[in-house]
Amino acid sequence: MIIQICVGSSCHIKGSQELVELLQAAVAEHHLEKDVTLAGSFCIGKCNRVGVTIQVDDTVHTGVTREGFPAFFKEHVLARLEGERK
Ligand code: FES
């Protein structure tokens, strides 16, 4: 799985650096280093009024915030990886 965090200026202002850190911590906590590649990306063209754009493989998620991060990670990373393992 490749997770690309947008670090374009709009997302940067809305906290992409913090989300990079949250993602790194969550990947380490769940021992997913072999399953997940984290990368930065330039503007994906989906700037949102609130939150950061994060692309998980081919799916673009907009408006990810620090508060919404746990649900995002559970739903779009952990559940998806589990689905791939089945
Ligand atoms: S700056 Fe992130 S989608 Fe545009």
Alpha-carbon span 24 to 32, nearest angstrom? 10
* Residue whose CB lies within 8 A of the most ligand 1 atoms, among 20, 50, 53, for a mutation test: 53
Q: How far is the CA of 2 from the centre of ligand 1 (A)?
A: 17
Domain ranges for the chain, please list them: 2-85
User: Any idea what the Cα angle at residue 41 is, between residues 40 and 44, rounded to 5°?
Assistant: 145
**What integer pLDDT is reported at residue 28 of this predicted model?**
98
At residue 85, does pLDDT exceed 90?
no
CATH fold for the domain made of 2-85: Glutaredoxin (3.40.30)
- Predicted model pTM: 0.94
pLDDT tens profile 16-63: 999 999 999 999 999 999 999 999 999 999 998 899 999 999 999 999
**What integer pLDDT is reported at residue 52 of this predicted model?**
98
15 lines ligand 1 (CB under 6 A): no
